[in-house]
Chain A
Amino acid sequence: MNDIIRREEFGDVAILHITSTSVDAISAAAIATENEQMRPITVLDFNEVSFINSAGISALLKFVVSARKSGYKLFAMHVSPHHQKIFKMVEMSRFMPTIEERDLAEYR
């Protein structure tokens, strides 16, 4: 049970809805623990996230590492323009591209 991640699964897909508005040093550990239960297609949903700092990026990178080890695909959804800029700055977007919600429909 994780208060900061709300999990939704269908088929090979897991959508991890981040319910904390801040992905920072306080929420990082709880977010990172979810990387142990990834699915072949895992989507991190940033719809409710208004702030991400480097401690948060470090937590998100644990998903990138797990996905690469397992051969799974990792996507980000509902990323704000500001966070897209930051992800591009640190090249996170290379390893966690964005996906549109409508593109997940075929898996449902």
Chain B
Amino acid sequence: MQRVELSIPSHPIFERVVRASAAEVGVAFGFSDERVEDLKLAISEAVSNAIDHGNRGEVTKLVAVVFEIDGEKLEIRISDQGSGMERHDVSRHVIDEQSLETGQLRGFGMYLISELVDDYEVSSSQKGTMLTLRLYRRQEQP
């Protein structure tokens, strides 16, 4: 098993640090360029959620990210130091006339994550929320 650990302050600029690391881990894992892009986006959304909704942008609170390569599986755990979340909306969220009329221009993050990774789970308590993403190495079409 190989492990990479990061810990960032809750500021969006540091999300870019995690994203850059995700790209390197994805390449090391043998992902195609397209799956590296999927990985970067899924992790970006997860870290942004941890910063904005978990830690509520309090820069002194940290977001911990652990990448773990275990055989054919790449697991990423993203944890915040917030007070937990009651629910996680992973329903399909797309742009439509109604959302444009009402100004609902956000909220695509969890939907994108659910589409881009092979599986994921959320655990939340009063000590924070942890999102676990899993992607598997697979035979890619040429």
Contact = CB atoms under 8 A, between A and B. Distances in A.
A90 B108 contact: yes
B84 interface: no
Interface in B31-66: 34, 37-38, 40-41, 44-45, 48
A58 interface: yes
B41 A94 contact: no
B4 interface: no
A49 interface: no
A105 interface: no
A62 B19 CA distance: 25
B93 A26 contact: no
Contacts of B115: 89
Contacts of B41: 51-53, 86
B95 A65 contact: no
B108 A54 contact: yes
Interface residues of A, number: 25
Interface residues of B, number: 27
Contacts of A64: 95, 100
A89 B41 CA distance: 13
B105 interface: yes
Contacts of B106: 54-55, 58
Contact of B45 (A54, A62, A68, A91): A54
Interface in A55-108: 55, 57-58, 61-62, 64-65, 68, 81-82, 86, 89-92, 94-95
A91 B94 contact: yes
B105 A51 contact: no
18 contacts: A25-B48, A26-B12, A51-B41, A53-B41, A53-B45, A54-B48, A54-B112, A55-B12, A55-B48, A58-B106, A62-B105, A64-B100, A65-B100, A82-B34, A86-B112, A90-B94, A90-B112, A91-B96
Interface of A: 22, 24-26, 51-55, 57-58, 61-62, 64-65, 68, 81-82, 86, 89-92, 94-95
